Amino acid sequence: MAQRKMIVFPTKNELSQAMAEYTANLSAKFIKEKGLFTVVLSGGDLIDWLCKLVQPPYIDSIEWSKWHVFWVDERVCAWEDPDSNYKLAMEGFLSKVPIPDKNIYAIDKHWAADGNAEHCAALYEECLKNLVKEKIIPISKKTGYPEFDLQLLGMGPDGHMASLFPNHPQINEKQKWVTHITDSPKPPPKRITFTLPVINSSLYNLMAICDKAPARSVAEIMKHNNLSLPSAHLSAQVENVWYLDQAAASEL
């Protein structure tokens, strides 16, 4: 498992620039090595910070047609709902780049609109298993779980990542790849989420955190490794890198 690495940027703009460069470099590396790049997105503010990827030079240099895009967590609601992580990513990022529609793996549209979290989680796990059969996603020889190339993650002020919240049992799930929650402390209550072993099976994990609100949780993790905060459990097979802006690092 990779050691946590932290880089503090003077501004959100510089963090955003560095995240675009990091993503573009990994995209080039994996496409050269195996002809495709699997990227897992989270929701929240992260999508805004991906803005540099849709600008020169990256918009023109990245081989978008080779990308396969997933969500580490999703809210169980209609795709058109303002709460949807799919809608957020489509409007802020994915609609601006030429990734084939078939390579964008969203939550099941019908069951999400219907509000059935448990079934949505099962269907998303089935989708991942089919992609393993199609050799889009390998199974990690080290972990036995699906191995994504890069996950771009965010952390809430309470220390949650994906939809793994403090004092909720989902963090302990080891059998499933995708699980669900129906009482999320952050609205909306129904969500699906990758489980911790799947999150940590990724080759590269980049956790991006900005602003003052999560600063206390950042300090709890960095200074005290407070494992009651789900984000403190983040690891990766190759690199677990945390990008902070000054405000997020202000209590370190």
Ligand X SMILES: O=C1O[C@H](COP(=O)(O)O)[C@@H](O)[C@H](O)[C@H]1O
List residues binding ligand X (CB under 6 A). 42-46, 73, 85, 154, 156, 162-163, 186
Q: 137 with 148: CB under 8 angstroms?
A: yes
Q: 54 with 61: CB under 8 angstroms?
A: no
DSSP E strands in the chain: the ranges are 4-9, 37-41, 67-71, 73-75, 150-154, 178-181, 191-194, 204-209, 239-245
92 residue type, one letter = G
Q: CB of 185: closest distance to ligand X in angstroms?
A: 10
CA distance linking residue 102 with residue 80, whole number of Å: 19
Residue partners of 127: CB distance under 8 A and separation at least 6: 105
The residue number with the shortest CB distance to ligand X is 44
Q: CB of 41: closest distance to ligand X in angstroms?
A: 8
Q: CB of 57: closest distance to ligand X in angstroms?
A: 26
CA distance linking residue 91 with residue 74, whole number of Å: 15
CA distance linking residue 10 with residue 186, whole number of Å: 29
Q: CB of 198: closest distance to ligand X in angstroms?
A: 14
Burial group, residue 135, by CB count within 10 angstroms (0-12, 13-18, 19+): exposed
Length of the chain: 252
Q: CB of 196: closest distance to ligand X in angstroms?
A: 14
Q: CB of 187: closest distance to ligand X in angstroms?
A: 9
Token pair recorded at residue 183: 């009482």
